[in-house]
Amino acid sequence: MCGLMGWITTEGAGARYAADVEAALPCMRHRGPDEPGIWHDDDVALGFARLSIIDVENSHQPLEFPGDAAERSSTADPAGRYRIVFNGEIYNYLELREELARDHGVRFTTEGDTEAIVAAYSVWGADAVPRLRGMFTFLIWDVRDRVLFGARDPFGIKPLFFVAGAHGVAFSSEKKCLLEVLGPIGASTAAPDPEALQNYLTLQYVPEPATLHRAVRRLESGCSFTISPGEPISVQRYFTPRFDERPVPRGDTAAETRRHEEITEVLRDSVAKHMRADVTVGAFLSGGIDSTVIAALAREHNPDLITFTTGFERDGYSEVDVAAESARAIGVRHVVKTVTAQEMMDALPLIVWYLDDPVADPALVPLYFVAREARKHVKVVLSGEGADELFGGYTIYKEPISLAPFDALPGAVRKLAGALSDRLPTGMRGKDLLRRGALPLEERYYGNARNFFPAQLADVLRSYDDELSHVDITESLYAGSRDWSPVARMQHVDLFTWLRGDILVKADKMTMANSLELRVPFLDPEVFRVASALPTDQKIAHGTTKYALRRAIEGIVPPHVLHRRKLGFPVPIRHWLATDMLDWARGIVRDSQTDAILDKAAVLRLIDEHRSGPVDHSRRIWTLLVFMLWHGIFVEQRIRPEIPAPVYPVYA
């Protein structure tokens, strides 16, 4: 787990631009406080900030790899053909190293996973990427052929931003580092992209591959690329998740049992590989089954495992007691961090700086604090992200069942139901059911976040475009899943939107802000292979979600968790924005220089309506506040959070 930068130039000025890369690296020192590194030749400059996890004493980056003897004699660089910078972890690196040494005669000089990647690339080329079980972004420079190759993991756990300009293309794990080189690279520092902003206000995140800076893009999950000096970047998709549902014959209890046993086995294998590290590994633990099963399986490898949770001093907004009970049941040491409203207000500008682009998920704030607490004890944590998307865990996945009666209605009647919904008062019971029942799945479902509706958005956003729709984002995803079940199609959409736009961004950014590596065993290709074969009745069944997963982990997680509804890290912003945070929120709006973008009077009305009730505007208000802070930091440069020096007392 680290941070990387790379710059491939158009003018053979690698040495000159290496200085810009080196100057930008401190922006992501939090990602890799253990060791910086820089390397360049005429066409490429590579920079690295290392958080040492595997092969701590070696595997320094940028790492060189020689290729075979013939290549070493023919390349212009006698030290070797390849240079690599790599952010992430490869969990099957030991198996890869063994295969490469045994079958291809590869000789290794380190004990780490970085060398396993570049060695695999030297043997299999781009076909090496699908063989990697892990989270990763990396850049490999081929000194002989003058080609830069890079890739991002299948689910988008680790980020990779890039910007193209007159002087080449720059890549980075942090967008803020690229903002440092926009001038030198010859790219524009334009105002926020209006389309990306409208999508953010609707979804509470900026969907890939866009960012709020029009010039900066993201390499999408499951993609690799190649680029040579002076040539455009060429992107290829190597992984497309497919839900190939295979029903269990009705009444075949033996087959159903085998399916559940397969889930248990693949999870146990994934956690075992995710425990590989030369430093201390802990786990996050909430009150739900996802984090609990990960912690329970991790304890099988480390009886001294430490778990961490967070909560608030308000009834209904804390899983601290449930998590503590789970920790006692599985026999692990447990650490709790309680977060106050004042701590949230004080920390939010700094958190937005770490985010790069705004993400309006309030849960990222307690995640930041629990990560900071965990870093006092461990260097790596396991967590349960991805289980809901793979195993059918979101309550909204039940919606196709509840809306099935609408499917039987003639089109004219469904249209009438939608018109009736428009006439009902906001907040009235049944209004949203009628609205959603009138729409086909492709129009009504665009992920877990449903923030501003069009009429609300038109009130606050001055550049509102009524022709821009969430359908533009999801249309191609639905087109590629026409023959799947409705639940599988919703899962597919979430993998490309909610998971990589919200869940994984907050997981990466908030842990890396504290120089803590977070690993997600559910988001493993082998786990996905098993989960993707589950039919709908093994996901949404018997009045619950994640049915097959729950059956598979009976006996592993405590009974009090097994059938409990997941809350995660719930945040009491509905209450606080009407009380403790009221003046703070109004102050952010008044001070913000976003008058040309937002109708600030309309924003203040939302706050007043929320305070007086009964309409809950808390998520919409939070979305606007996060954007205003982002604008104050990255556009106005009026807000300058004090960036703490990385503190990492745990080395091994």
Contacts of 26 (CB under 8 A, 6+ apart): none
Contacts of 106 (CB under 8 A, 6+ apart): 97, 100, 119, 122, 123
CB 110 within 8 A of CB 58: yes
For the CA atoms of 17, 19, 20, 24, the dihedral, rounded to the nearest 10 degrees, stands at 140
pLDDT for the residue 649: 60
What are 392's two structure tokens?
């059918």
Q: Whole-prediction pTM value?
A: 0.94
Q: Is 562 helix (H, G, I), strand (E, B) or coil?
A: helix
CB 288 within 8 A of CB 384: yes
Q: How many CB atoms lie within 10 A of CB 321?
A: 12
Cis, bond preceding 358 (omega within 30 deg of 0): no
pLDDT for the residue 100: 97
β-pairing, 380-382 vs 333-338, is unpaired
With helix as H, strand as E and coil as C, how does 338-395 read?
A: ECCHHHHHHHHHHHHHHHCCCCCCCCHHHHHHHHHHHCCCCCEEECCCCHHHHHCCCH
CA 442/CA 450 separation, integer angstroms: 14
In terms of CATH architecture, what is 253-393+504-562?
3-Layer(aba) Sandwich (3.40)
Closest CA to 513 of 331, 368, 310: 368
What are 435's two structure tokens?
């609205």
Task: Name the residue type at position 151.
Answer: A
Cis, bond preceding 62 (omega within 30 deg of 0): yes
CA 201/CA 449 separation, integer angstroms: 10
CA 51/CA 291 separation, integer angstroms: 24
Q: Which residues of the chain have pLDDT under 70?
A: 1, 68-79, 314-318, 427, 565-569, 648-652
In sign, the C-alpha dihedral spanning 519, 522, 527, 528 is: negative
Q: Return the domain boundaries, the chain.
A: 2-237, 253-393+504-562
CB 41 within 8 A of CB 77: yes
pLDDT for the residue 73: 43
CA 197/CA 508 separation, integer angstroms: 22
CB 160 within 8 A of CB 31: no
Q: Is 336 helix (H, G, I), strand (E, B) or coil?
A: strand
> Which residues are identified as catalytic?
2
Domain 2-237 has CATH 3.30.300.20: no
DSSP code for 129: G
pLDDT for the residue 222: 98
**Are 2-237 and 253-393+504-562 the same fold in CATH?**
no
